[in-house]
Amino acid sequence: MILIRELEIPSSVGAEGWDDFVAAMGIHYGNEALTYGTDELAFTAAETLPEYLDEEHQPTRLFVARDETRIVGAARYEAEPGDDPTTAWLMVDVLPGARRRGVGSALSAKLQGVAATDGIRKAIVYAVSGYGPGERLPAPTGFGSVPRDNAEVAFLLGKGYRLEQVVRGSRLALPVDVTTQFDETVLAAGPDFALHHWVDVTPKKWRVEMAALRQLMSTEEPGAGLDEPEDIWTVERLVEDEERRASSPRTRLVAAVEHLPSGRLAGFTVLSVPAETDRAISQEDTLVRREHRGHRLGMLLKLANLAEVQRWMPGHPAVLTFNAEENRHMLDVNEAVGFVPIGYEGAWRKDLPT
């Protein structure tokens, strides 16, 4: 017998509900490791917890399926009621040994019930797709495809989702010497731009600029037919987000580039670095404002941050990143640095009945 219930998100590491939260995170990252063939993408529960504690801007609910002895499935429901009360992001994971017992369908039905109650009109799912033989299902963007006969693809198609985009996971082996590339890129960028670096906390001088750049990330990244809503950022939200992340054992290394004539930030990039040196680094947001593109600033930012992390936090085996397959400009930058593909995931959309 399978029972589904909602978990109370623990308020801190070790608080009430912590063991169940750890089990749920373990199912997700365990499945991801099986599909990608590496556990380098995994975050610990302590690293993931801050994402679940933003009740104002991105309230996230977590449901688990339990049999007689253990948690066998987990489902995540995330919304942005202040920005777009009609969109939700869903995720369902089931232990490999518990599949084909209706667990995934039961969790999916639970999430759709919650969505209906909340008045959600559009559900978005990101699902990893490993290698599979046979026919391919192409993304409507014209870039990338997923194996049509894969279990997760058949499941989503059966639930009424349509593929909108394919996202590439890439890996850069460390250490890497970026000195020559960096020097060349500084010259290409020209004298109007200056680099700045900080760790975890945005200097007061740049808070307004960084809030604006974080908001731009939600609209400037290629979104295909997902039509994901603009994510509103204020200085207050930026500060609150950084305060929440202070409880995480990971360190965020930020590189930003200033346009000197205007005194504004032209772009930024972030590396999320685990405390353990035998674990991979996560490349997170990278953005350059439209009006400053064409100066190789994306490359400049990435190379600068790679140099910084290897200078101050050496020993990590790799950097991992994700990009939409149609985002050729950023993929060109990554490939020039040395990133290689390690796997793909589909971005799926379902329009729910009104």
Whose structure tokens read 């995540």?
76
Kindly report whether the peptide bond that precedes residue 249 is cis, defined as omega within 30 degrees of 0: no
Q: What is d(CA 259, CA 250) in angstroms, rounded to the nearest whole number?
A: 29
Per DSSP, helices labelled H in 173-284 are: 179-189, 207-220, 235-245
pLDDT digits (tens, 9 = 90+) for 257-300: 999 999 999 999 999 999 999 999 999 999 999 999 999 999 99
- pLDDT at residue number 83: 67
CA angle at 84 for the pair 234 and 59, rounded to the nearest 5°: 70
Q: Taking 80 as the threshold, does the pLDDT of residue 82 lie above it?
A: no
Cβ distance 231 to 218 under 8 Å?
Answer: yes
What secondary structure letter does DSSP report for 290? G
Q: What is d(CA 3, CA 65) in angstroms, rounded to the nearest whole number?
A: 6
Q: What share of the chain is helix, strand, coil (3-state, %, to 5)?
A: 35, 30, 35
Cβ distance 21 to 10 under 8 Å?
Answer: yes
Residue ranges per structural domain of the chain:
3-169, 175-316
Whose structure tokens read 């009740």?
55
Domain 3-169 fold is Aminopeptidase (3.40.630)
* Residues in the chain, overall count: 354
Query: DSSP string of 79-132?
Result: EETTTEEEEEEEEEEE-GGGTTSSHHHHHHHHHHHHHHHTT--EEEEEEEE---
- pLDDT at residue number 66: 95
pLDDT digits (tens, 9 = 90+) for 248-267: 999 999 999 999 999 999 99
Residue 178 identity: V
Q: What is d(CA 186, CA 237) in angstroms, rounded to the nearest whole number?
A: 33
What secondary structure letter does DSSP report for 25? H
Please, what is the average pLDDT of the chain? 95
SS3 call for 11: coil
> In percent, how much of the chain has pLDDT > 90?
93
Q: How far from 276 is each of 22, 225, 281, 306, 320, CA to CA, in Å?
A: 19, 38, 10, 17, 15
CATH superfamily of 175-316: Gcn5-related N-acetyltransferase (GNAT) (3.40.630.30)
Does this chain's domain 3-169 share its CATH topology with 175-316?
yes
Residue 111 identity: L
Half-sphere exposure of residue 142, counting CA atoms within 13 Å on the CB side?
2
Q: Taking 70 as the threshold, does the pLDDT of residue 116 lie above it?
A: yes
pLDDT digits (tens, 9 = 90+) for 45-69: 999 999 999 998 999 999 999 998 9
Q: Taking 90 as the threshold, does the pLDDT of residue 38 lie above it?
A: yes
